[in-house]
Amino acid sequence: MIEPAKNYHASIYVPASQETCFQALATQMDKWWTQSVDGSLTKVGDKVTARFPPDYGYWTFEATSFQRPYRIEMACIDAHHKVEGQPEKIDQEWLGTKVVWSINKVGDNTEIRMVHDGLTPTLNCWEICLDGWNQFFKGSLKAFLNGNEPTPHSAA
């Protein structure tokens, strides 16, 4: 059982449909997370790699649960996180963690709840990753689903 209080977790509310939200998470990460994405998630076993050029790192996820349009679970199966001034072990801290997206209709809006199971305050990357998820999930994805300009990572 995932304990949100011990892991990074957040929610956003957007006027988009559940299906639109599901598609943004499964197949449009390049629109809101990072412009350098390889692959997409359309079924259990699919893999997606999010890269952060020029050399901030990459993470590869595999879909472990796929319940359209309500839920996506993805496990980090490959990780490389390079942060100047941080211990070398930061590189693999996401390996084995899981991101769970829950998508629910709430009144006229859709709520997307995210739990990053394994991303806890005990990790070296906690503050950096907290800022990153807040920027990309709570900021960029929300903007994208609200019809505003998202701010995915770009090499430029």
Residue 80 pLDDT? 94
**pLDDT exceeds cutoff 60 at 2:** no
Residue with the bigger pLDDT between 6 and 26: it is 26
| Positive or negative: CA dihedral 90, 92, 93, 98 | positive
pLDDT digits (tens, 9 = 90+) for 33-77: 999 999 999 999 999 999 999 888 999 999 999 999 999 999 999
Q: Which two tokens stand for residue 46?
A: 């699919």
Q: Model-level pTM? A: 0.93
pLDDT digits (tens, 9 = 90+) for 74-105: 999 999 998 888 888 889 999 999 999 999 99
Q: What average pLDDT score do residues 126-139 get? A: 95
Kindly indicate whether the domain formed by 13-119+126-145 is annotated with CATH number 3.30.530.20: yes
